[in-house]
Structure 1
Amino acid sequence: MAFLFALLLSFSAFAQGASETAEVATRGVEPGATEGASADGAAADPAVLDAGEALFKNNCASCHSAGSDVVVGPGLQGVTQRRSTSWLQSWIKNSQALIQSGDAQAVAIYNEYDKQAMPSFAAFSDDEVNSILAFIESGQGVAQAPAAGPPGAEAGENVGTNAIGAVGGYLDIVLVVLIIVLIVLVVVLLLISSLLKNYLNKNNQLDEYDNEIVNQRFDLSKVYKSKAVRTLVVLIFVVVLIDLSIDKVMGIGIQQGYQPTQPIAFSHRLHAGEHQINCNYCHTTVYKSKSASIPSANICMNCHSQIQKESPEIQKIYRAIERNEPIQWVRIHNLPDLAYFNHSQHTQVGNIECQTCHGPIQEMDVVYQYSPLTMGWCIDCHRETPLNTEGNEYYDNLVKLHEASSKGAFTVASNGGTECSKCHY
């Protein structure tokens, strides 16, 4: 019955009644992209595989891998060979209807796994379900073993990176050697100067003028009392003071590195990193709304109603649900009210990855503000980021006008992305 358990968990989380998980996340899936798709033989069509991959990552990858590795539930490798496409479509779209119809296999799954109802995915079309099955069947989602390196290299070792690191190590050695050589040269010159001075003094070959020059002593007080030295010291002090003041003034309102303690010790390293849960699974509006939503306790319970229920941190979620109180998460990324920012414009239209602004979120146990989020930082991004205009007739004339007047890429700034009214109105 292991394959049936894989089916039960492959396209949703565990808990019943979490309406957020029933939404169809179709980022990157164009209308009609899965039309005519089928689970058999569809792997040859890249468009179908791309559509299936997007649907799988946004709806299934939070609990399962496309291979045999266990994430939260078992992997789905080979599931299309064990069950028919028609049965899989019926189960995925409405498992409760299949159970109530008396289907023996569906009833067995329902009873065997504590009668945990799988949320309905009726919004999926047959073509969309087939594209997911095709993606699983293609094996593209299965993690590949690390490529073998040259003899002596460890498994999974990045030989190219090590080579670059080795070159950097050689450069460090060369610099150290040069510094040592310079120090030796200075010491040798001082010794030669001392020997020459002693030789001239012993042989009395110096007249009065030369003797005064050779045997003159360094007077530190003259250097200190020099107007030029004093002026230089005051100038350096003023420059340093101005620089520190400017840094402090320019840093007002910037919270880069801000890392508050959250009410529940949630680890992005564990969830987004090790378990590879897609950001859209918890932040359900990140691709379709101005703001990226904060996950409700019900989304957490989709998984944690079944796993690690005794954890002290998970018990905090239970208490919040029992008291009908929201979890008081501390907001980390804040923009001033005078600035307009739309998440969907960047993530859905611009295809900007979360890590571009939020940094290596999949490596953070406690999230912190990675980027400065200043106006200059945003403008630099708009000036450097090219727009993907292929297949969009809206940009055709604009691109022609841009190419006639400029040799650079057609960036966000070329489309008015640095105008004040874009963000301030």
Structure 2
Amino acid sequence: MISCILKTQSKILYTFLLALVVSFGAFAQASEQAEVAQKGVDPGATEGAEVTTGDPAVISAGEALFKNNCAVCHSAGSDVIVGPGLQGVTKKRSESWLISWTKNSQALIQSGDADAVAIYNEFNKQAMPSFAFSDDEIKSIFAYIDSGKGAVSAPVAGPEGAVAGENVGTDAVGAIGGYLDIVLVVLIIVLIVLVVTLLLITSLLKNYLNKNRQLNEYDAEVVNQRFDFSKVYKSNAVRTLVVLIFVVVLLDLTIEKTMGIGIQQGYAPKQPIAFSHKLHAGEHQIDCNYCHTTVYESKSASIPSANICMNCHSQVKTESAEIQKIYRAIERNEPIQWVRIHNLPDLAYFNHSQHTQVGGVECQTCHGPIQEMDVVYQYSPLTMGWCIDCHRETPLNTEGNGYYDKLVELHESSSKGAFTVSSNGGSECSKCHY
């Protein structure tokens, strides 16, 4: 009878412990889902207006030209950067005037054109570079601007007077996650109290039975049984298991450290000037190609010169302590000593243009969310295995390219998989080591 009572109490105790674990897992999962939902809401994101006029191909071409050449000084909306925002400019100026201004703004100013002179004076006589674009290319840029794809949406009233971008939805999801955390903590406390109470009841019951009951030999053994820990750690099986675990952990750490030699994933050195990609590439949406001028044309992506910085910072934030470092470098005719982050060994050959121009690989594929980094760090491991895996998994776009016709035909006759970089010899040693 007594043994049944104690066993029942033990079952109750185990049940509560199990409930504690299950509840913790359930609420942790709910909190995680709430956090994922919160991260999925992008309150700062704005959708451009639908394209209502113009050829989509022309607008797309204009978008590329605008981002590569114009976005550093102008927004496609109404925001002023270095120059004025271009939203609605085609309604203010004639097409011929815009073409003339884009091709050679200084010539238009010197001709005495009233609008050109007024703009020049309004923006501190900052000269706009001349562009050797064709008329059609310039028209495509303004078609992109007119499409509204690059414009920032106007604030829209939200709950209780809030406007878009104020994290209303995010805060609501965050509040739900906060309530779940509170409920989880309360539940854990309640379960702990119940477990402690059960342990106290068990202890009191044992004392009561020992003092006030005549117990037979079996019941007395059940009530007063003790767990002998010495038998556990003296057991050969336990000792063998502990040694085995120690050896496996040590071996795993050794292999991990050995395989990590030369891998600098996460490396984020301090740079001589605090340059933020999050600010420039993220908030201001300056195209990578504007600063890294040879990323589509050369083996190297190139390090931006101080002159590129001065295209903006001769007018913008000129008094900033970090910008003054650029001025001093120019005055002393010394290069800025940027610290290299992504550095492949000399035995490996890598060509940026082959990947970005020919392969159409986005910068983020290798460099990660560079537009979100205040301090740039090495996002990918850049190991040989990582590169080969990419070559094995990345299909080649062979449509309309006669060079690949016979290769694709031969591949399809012997394999059912996609025609990848490896299918074209991208896994051969001589591709990267020669």
Common fold, TM-score beyond 0.5? yes
Does the alignment pair 1:98 with 2:97? no
By how many angstroms is 1:332 displaced?
1.0
**Structure 1 CA distance for aligned equivalents of residues 181 and 322 of structure 2:** 49
Aligned to 1:88: 98
Q: CA offset at residue 87 of structure 1? A: 2.1
Amino acid of the residue matched to residue 243 of structure 2? Answer: V
Cα deviations across residues 216-274 of structure 1 (Å, max 9, x unaligned)? Answer: 43222232222222221111111111111111111111111211111111122221122
Contact 1:92/1:121 (CA < 8 Å) preserved in 2?
Answer: yes
Select which of 231, 236, 249 maps to 1:227: 236
Contact 2:299 2:351 in 1 (8 A): yes
- 1:56 aligned partner, one-letter code: F
State whether residues 259 and 332 of structure 1, in contact with CA within 8 Å, keep that contact through their aligned partners in structure 2.
yes
Residue of structure 2 equivalent to 1:287: 296
- The answer to whether structure 1 residue 388 and structure 2 residue 388 are counterparts is no
Tell whether the 8 Å contact from 2:350 to 2:432 is kept in structure 1 after alignment: yes
- Distance in 1 (alpha carbons) for counterparts of 2:273 and 2:381: 25
Distance in 2 between residues matched to 1:162 and 1:374, nearest whole Å: 42
Does residue 1:317 correspond to 2:321, yes or no?
no
Aligned counterpart, 1:121: 131
1:44 match: secondary structure: coil
Residue type matched to 2:142 in 1?
L
Q: What amino acid does structure 2 have at the position aligned with 1:320?
A: A
- Cα displacement (A) at 1:363: 2.0
CA deviation map 1:359-381 (0-9, x unaligned): 22222222111222222222222
Distance change >3 Å, CA 409–CA 145, structure 1 → 2: farther
2:141 partner amino acid: I
How many percent of aligned residue pairs carry the same amino acid?
Answer: 75
Aligned to 1:243: 252
1:303 to partner: Cα distance:
0.8
The corresponding residue for 2:351 is 342
| 8 A contact 1:42–1:48 mirrored in 2 | no
**Contact 2:277 2:371 (C-alpha < 8 Å) held by counterparts:** yes
Contact kept? 1:153, 1:159, Cα under 8 Å: no
Measure how far apart 1:398 and its partner are: 3.2
Residue 85 of structure 2 is aligned to residue 75 of structure 1: yes
Structure 2: which amino acid aligns with 1:95? S
Which of 153, 157, 173 matches 1:144? 153
Q: Offset at 1:166?
A: 6.8
Shift of the 231–184 alpha-carbon distance from structure 1 to 2, 3 Å rule, reads farther
Q: Which residue does the alignment assign to 2:8?
A: none
After superposition, the CA RMSD in angstroms is 3.8
Distance in 1 (CA, whole Å) between partners of 2:406 and 2:190 is 63
Instruction: Call closer, same or farther: CA 1:146–1:380 in 2, change over 3 Å.
Output: farther
**Partner of residue 422 from structure 2, selected from 405, 413, 419:** 413
TM-score (norm 2): 0.74
Name the stretch that deviates more: 288-297 or 310-319. 310-319
Per-residue deviation, 1:304: 0.9
| Alignment partners' CA distance in 2, 1:164 and 1:401 | 55
CA pair 395-144 structure 1, distance change in 2 beyond 3 A: farther
Match of 2:335 among 321, 326, 330: 326
CA distance in 1, matches of 2:350, 2:158: 45
- Structure 2 residue 382 is matched with structure 1 residue 373: yes
Q: Is the 8 A contact 2:78 2:87 kept in 1?
A: yes
Relative to the length of structure 1, the TM-score reads 0.76
Alpha-carbon distance in 2 for matches of 1:395, 1:201: 93
- Give the 5 Å matches for 1:250-265: 250-265=259-274
Deviation at 1:419, TM superposition (A): 2.4
Aligned to 1:301, which of 303, 310, 335? Answer: 310
Q: Do the aligned residues in 2 keep the contact of 1:43 with 1:135 (CA within 8 Å)?
A: no
Contact 1:320–1:326 (8 Å) recurs in 2: yes
What whole-Å deviation, never above 9, does each CA across 1:125-173 have from its counterpart, x for those lacking one?
1111111121112222212358899999984559699889979997998
- Distance in 1 separating the partners of 2:143 and 2:223: 90
1:54 correspondence with 2:64 = yes
The change in CA–CA distance for 1:350 and 1:195 in structure 2 (over 3 A counts) is: farther
Deviations 1:42-62 (A, max 9, x none): 942111111001000111111
The CA distance in 2 between the partners of 1:236 and 1:142, in whole Å, is 59
Deviation digits for residues 84-109 of structure 1, max 9, x if unmatched?
22222222112333344454544554
Structure 2 unaligned segments of length 5 or more: list them: 1-50
CA contact (8 A) 1:197 1:214 kept: no
* Alpha-carbon separation, structure 1, partners of 2:182 and 2:411: 46
Q: 1:355 to 1:204 in 2, by over 3 A?
A: same
**One-letter code of the match for 1:58?**
N
SS at the partner of 1:411? coil
Partner SS state of residue 218, structure 1: coil
Amino acid at match of 2:82: V
Give the structure with the larger helix fraction.
2
8 Å CA contact 1:42, 1:131 repeated in 2? no
Which AA in structure 2 matches 1:272?
A: A
